[in-house]
Amino acid sequence: MKALLVRVGVDQAYGGWNAPVDAVGNFVYVPIPERPGIRFHPGLERRYREVLPALDGFCRDRGCDLSADLRFPAGLAGRPMHLDPDFECLTYGDVGARRGAGMVGMGDGDLLAFYAGLRHVGPGEPRLVYALIGMYVVREVVPVASVPQGRWHENAHARRADRGPTDIVVRAKPDVSGRFDRCVPIGEWRAGAYRVRRDLLAAWGGLSVRDGYIQRSAVPPAFADPARFARWLQRQAVRLVRGNN
């Protein structure tokens, strides 16, 4: 079995903002923006207005305001978003020659664990929460070029008219894949960066990056003992949701 830890979601580097999370792990999944100038197949562009109802609901339930308190960038609302992973279609796309190189050889039963840097909303000083937000059990990995037109809508890389020659799409197994109903915090600030907590590194059997570094990586870290991580995750008792929010 292979397993990778993949960072996703809007953040300060990609979008200039962090999606919210509360004290008990309720969160909103907000993807990164698409690069300026990207062209899409007709009718397949996805925009941030799709996530505004979920963000408004999060704020309403907690008595805060999306603009005044969470400081959602007004400029994002009209921009295309890179909806990837797409938890409704159970796909994830990447560039096979670079960031997704470790996914190219993945097959049936391998794992992708998704994490995001979220902004805590509640009493106390604002802080970032690095947390797992979803998981895929891989069914297959295919080149974007092989995706038929009738399935272009399933993934951000296939929706583009501008495709990279090495772009891939990971398709996940239903029932055992999806977004988490609550996030699972995994990070802490240590040695000048955000890293996986030491107790979790021990529980997982380690990662392929030095001292659990997860603040930003060009290549997703690999789990040294995927089966051990899978057993740990099962004990977290999160519910899988087939939907983006």
Return the sign of the alpha-carbon dihedral for residues 16, 22, 25, 30.
negative
pLDDT tens for 131-178 read: 999 999 999 999 999 999 999 999 999 999 989 999 999 999 999 999
pLDDT digits (tens, 9 = 90+) for 57-104: 999 999 999 999 999 998 898 899 999 999 999 999 999 988 899 999
Q: Helix, strand or coil for residue 137?
A: strand
The strand ranges marked E within 186-226 are 187-190, 193-196
Distances 88 to 29, 94, 140, 185, 205 between C-alpha atoms, Å: 12, 17, 17, 23, 31
Contacts for 169 with CB less than 8 Å, ≥ 6 apart = 91, 92, 93, 141, 142, 143, 144, 147, 154, 155, 157, 158
pTM for the whole structure:
0.97
How many CB atoms neighbour CB 67 within 10 A? 10
